[in-house]
Amino acid sequence: MPELPEVETVKNTLIPLVKDKVIIDVDIFYDRLIQSNIDDFKKDIINKKILGIQRYGKYLFFDLSDDFILITHLRMEGKFAYHKTSENIRISSTTLAFYFSDKTSLCFNDTRKFGLMYLTTKNEIHDLPMIKKLGIEANKIKESDYQELFKKLRKNKPIKNLITDQSILCGIGNIYADETLYLSKIHPLTKGKDLTNNDFINIFNNAKKILDKAITLGGSSVHSFSSNGIDGKFQEELLCYGKEGKICHNCGTKFHKIFLNGRGTTFCPNCQIYKPIEKAIGITGKIGSGKSTLLNHFKDLNYLTISSDELIKEIYHDPVINKKICKIVGFIFNIDKKEDRNKIKLKMINDPQVKEKIEDILYPVLENRLIKIIEENDDVVIEVPLLFKAHYQYMFKKIFVLDIDESKQIEHLKSRGDNVTTSLKINNDYSDLNLDKVYIIKNNSSKEELFKKVDEILNK
């Protein structure tokens, strides 16, 4: 659906084409386009001069002579097409055509037929329900509007739904809502009641910045939007919208997509933390650093403990996934056999492309399973060897990263019968971690010393 910047572009391109034109005739090819009385519309529109065009939110207002106003809304795919002739102008999607006294014409083309037009007068326009309910334009919010908006936005509804509610903020649709929330670092599912006044002000400022820039660039030519052959350029500036599966430039996480009220909604789970999910404890670290030992300690403390390695084994058993991975590695394997697991591990270490393809299959499935476990349980501790590589940090309120000196690591690996040479090739770099919730613990001493360090952090 064209949003505020696209409708502004339509207005700006139409004004020089139709200003001062006199409408001498009209053809209506789809009666439901006209929301006012259709007979009065056909009669009253004749001989009216177009004096100018205004926009409010996603609505266009054609100022006509004799104090008439033509209200239009493009809805999903409505477009105006100006013609220098009045002959042979209709196409299959044309729902209306205006004919001007100078032999030019203006068509309204609407493939999905959701657009609307309403003819009224200046005296009556402000009493129309469709106009009275419109909120403040999202790029024209003033400090004096803040208190009213705080009250309207502090609801028990997802913030994405609230900022696209035209009775609260007028002009924001799906594209600019995703972009605004991404810049504001707010998850689209976050309830309005859980946000602070500063969060709302951040949203207002980012919405204005995005909308103003989009207007300057002529809007976003996504899907089928265009205005008389002029395509917008803002789609080249989009940071988040429509980028499901692509990499967030801030943190390297893949963008996720969910559906809210039927709207596709794209977000970065690590930049836009959803607080109800951020409640588990995570364990990660080098191979042989004591992750399983620490997980068992949490089990003794009556936490629900989950090993991602065990979940990955279950995922490998899925026939569809197994078949895909067999095709990638080039051989049939049984994940329950240690020698087969080692063959896959070695293949992934020696061939980064194979590793990436397998991770692209496994990570999203594991992620969904972990989220479900966290949503359904409290006091959960999850061991995830490649937690940061998979960008799962958004799920955890605390993350314990176990580090270990190589000599001690080799000792651990030998004691459990692992191939030391192969295992040491698995590199985990935690030097760049600066999250407040990350605790890097050296595990070169006894397990009792490890437990003591962890318990001290938990007790804080």
Contact criterion met (CB below 8 Å) for 75 and 10: no
Cα 137 versus chain centre, distance: 22
- Among all residues, which ones are annotated catalytic? 2-3, 58, 263
CA-based nearest residue to 177, from 146, 141, 204, 151: 204
Listed in sequence order, the residues at least 6 apart from 75 whose beta carbon sits closer than 8 Å to its beta carbon are: 1, 110, 112, 114, 115, 116
CA-based nearest residue to 426, from 284, 303, 313, 323: 284
Contact criterion met (CB below 8 Å) for 203 and 181: yes
Question: In 286-393, at which residue ranges do the beta strands (DSSP E only) sit?
Answer: 304-307, 380-383
Q: What is the residue whose two structure tokens read 């949203």?
A: 203
Distance from C-alpha of 100 to C-alpha of 98, rounded to nearest angstrom: 7
Buried b (16+ CB within 10 A) or exposed e, 374-401: beeeeebbbbbbbbbebbbbbbbebbbb
CA-based nearest residue to 284, from 438, 459, 451: 438
